[in-house]
Chains A and B, each alone.
Chain A
Amino acid sequence: MPFDFSPLWISLETALTATALTVVLGLAAAGWRSGRRSRLWELFDGVLLLPLVLPPTVVGFFLLVMFGRTGLLGRVLWRVGLTVVFSWPATVIAATVVAFPLMYLTARGALELIDPSMLEAARTLGAAEWEVFAFVTLPLAWPGILAGAVLSFARALGEFGATLMLAGNIPGRTETIPVAIFFAIEAGDTRQALAWSALVFAISIAVLLALGAWTRYQRAYLVRGQARHEAANEIPANDMGVE
């Protein structure tokens, strides 16, 4: 039997799409939340962070109820001819919802670390709000945003419970690597499970190594204030590992 690579492509597509979505949504939520100090907003935080603490199957169940044909959103989508449940978008929705809190938390941390006088300086120098965000906030929060994105990607790639609940296991359409591993084990195909596990392991290590190298580079040029090329020269080629 030829090895079916489709779970790899589905997983990568799902994780990348979900990461892109969480970065945008997480940043927007964090940016909107920053500067609001009221106690009431902590409730808002609680709701957003819920997927982090709930079992993924519970999140998946809620999503199923929401997007099901009789659910609040499902009914609206049904009317315009869309069915989410047991389709590829369902894997993206499940992964996004589960990964979102990680992005939101790291983005908020990164934004709160920015000295407000930097933003004020930009305003007095004539920058409009979007320019302040694009030229000051974003570059300064970038390390945190990237870290959040990597965490979200890892979480989205590994998502199992909510995905299985909402998207099911349709080979070639909604079967991601974690789901494939589960069903391989269930079918007694240990070798296939091992192959997929090794692949996920390799992807995870590669992502961590890339993050480590990038953080080192970023720290060198931001904190010590060295020019980019100076900082780049300081990283020995054989020392790209993660501590």
Chain B
Amino acid sequence: MALEIEIEKKFPDFTLQVAFTAENALVGILGASGAGKTMTLRTVAGLDSPARGRIVLDGRVLFDSAAGIDLPSRARRVSLLFQHYALFPHLTVERNIAFGLRHLPGVTPQERSRRTAEQIAAMHLSGLERRFPGRLSGGQQQRVALARALAPQPAALLLDEPFSALDTHLRSQLERQLRGTLATYAGVTLLVSHNLEEIYRLCPQLVVLDKGQVIAHGSREEIFRHPPNRATARLTGCKNFSRARALDQGHRHGALGASTLIEALDWGCALRVAQDIPRPPAHVAIRAHHIRVEAPPVKTPPVALPPIERPPVGVSSIEFPPGEVPLGEAPPVGASSAAIDENTFPCWVADSSEAPFRVTLFLRLHAPPANAADYHLQVEIAREHWTALKAHPLPWQVQLDPGRLFLLPD
């Protein structure tokens, strides 16, 4: 089971140019709105035609501009779950689900009702068979739409922002249900979303789109750990960027292994980064929840710095996905304190924004901020940590872990 896509289509404001192969696994397409995610799905479903390219599903050519092949939607065996589900309002739940079976060759009426009943049972829709979509809740509508899409056993299932039309409290439950349903589905699945937590939880493989171009493609862990470029880093939720210049390179530095000393131009400091780079870096970046903020120790003799492997009080690693930190490795434990010391700076709070369980701090390095917009770093910490920190006078200390900093070539 594989879906090969290589398409090109011009639009007034951008050119969609997408090429990737989706094997068995659930592939997530991540991108900002207007990046071409939905258009990509639509070309696979045959609802829009690319100007050039080739789409091959399990060896069947669905579209090939060179060979003049453009199968109509109905012959593609590709189901699309629309963002707002597009259920037929004049048909009952049962007849909505059976709609795709009516057009399958060789499906007898008995087979049709058997498969409809099967979907109704699998999607927990029993008792709603005779209802019209207008009388269903959002979650039920989504399940009917999914049942309708899966009933004809399509070779590929395309999900366009499947949770965007739902209330927040419904999402996590439906997301788990969807994951369960998709686990039993044998075809290729593409899921489009701009919600990174959702797409991370559901899709082992990711394609990142920006302005119609594929800017990253690979396993979710790899893409979140080492974004290949700035746009990917930003789309995967990274908030802190600084222009960077290499000072030295390829040093063996104690237990850190390969590391690079760089100058972060926008942050006005030199940083050690636990990363060996083949190309000169253009930017250095760090995620908001990977930055540690501490009140400075009372005495500050250079040798008496607190050990680094303290329990992760100040490290709130809950941005994505909760309980499943994308960076598999723990921060380099036992790194020489000198190396860490290098990346520690005094900081002042320029602004803060409080969520129920997390607080985002906007920190100014080296000197007090002039105003709320004068900040270098955006840091996310747990609310308890924030409460404890507030008792201490400014400046605090911010520490940019060399293992968490990453360099970007663009």
Contact = CB atoms under 8 A, between A and B. Distances in A.
A124 B103 contact: no
Nearest to A142: B90
A216 B149 CA distance: 32
Contacts of B78: 124
Contact of A224 (B92, B135, B148, B149): B135
Contact of A126 (B89, B90, B100, B133): B100
B135 A125 contact: no
Contacts of A78: none
A203 interface: no
Most chain B beta carbons < 10 A, residue from A115, A123, A127 = A123
Contacts of A227: 92, 130-132
Interface in B360-383: none
Interface string B121-138: 000000000111111100
22 contacts: A118-B86, A118-B88, A120-B80, A121-B82, A122-B99, A123-B72, A124-B73, A125-B74, A125-B99, A125-B100, A125-B152, A126-B75, A126-B100, A126-B152, A127-B103, A140-B90, A222-B132, A223-B134, A225-B89, A225-B136, A226-B135, A227-B130
A221 B135 CA distance: 10
B88 A126 contact: no
A188 interface: no
B74 A126 contact: yes
A139 interface: yes
A198 to B, nearest CB: 39
A144 B78 CA distance: 32
B104 interface: yes
B45 interface: yes
Contacts of B136: 225
A221 B133 CA distance: 11
A131 interface: yes
A87 B49 CA distance: 52
A128 interface: yes
Contacts, number: 81
B283 interface: no
Contacts of B275: none
Given A125-B100, A126-B104, A127-B74, A136 B47 contact: no
Most chain A beta carbons < 10 A, residue from B46, B76, B99 = B99
Interface of B: 45-47, 72-76, 78-80, 82, 84, 86, 88-90, 92, 99-100, 102-104, 130-136, 148-149, 152
Given A124-B78, A125-B100, A126-B74, A222 B134 contact: yes
A117 interface: yes
Interface residues of A, number: 24
B86 A125 contact: no
Contacts of A127: 74, 99, 103
B95 to A, nearest CB: 10
A127 B152 CA distance: 12
A225 B135 contact: yes
B86 A121 contact: yes
A124 B80 contact: yes
A215 B35 CA distance: 43
A124 B75 CA distance: 8
A118 B78 CA distance: 16
Given A123-B47, A124-B78, A225-B135, A139 B72 contact: no
Closest 10 CB pairs between A and B? A225-B134, A126-B103, A225-B132, A125-B100, A225-B135, A123-B73, A117-B86, A121-B86, A139-B90, A126-B74
B56 to A, nearest CB: 18
Contacts of B90: 139-140, 222
A121 B47 CA distance: 9
A47 B369 CA distance: 69
Contacts of B80: 120-121, 124
A85 B305 CA distance: 108
Given A121-B148, A123-B73, 8 more contacts: A118-B86, A121-B80, A124-B73, A124-B78, A125-B148, A131-B103, A136-B88, A225-B133
A117 B161 CA distance: 14
A131 B88 CA distance: 14
Contacts of A128: 74, 103
A225 B131 contact: yes
A61 B160 CA distance: 57
Given A140-B90, A225-B135, A124 B79 contact: yes
Interface string A105-127: 00000000001011011111111
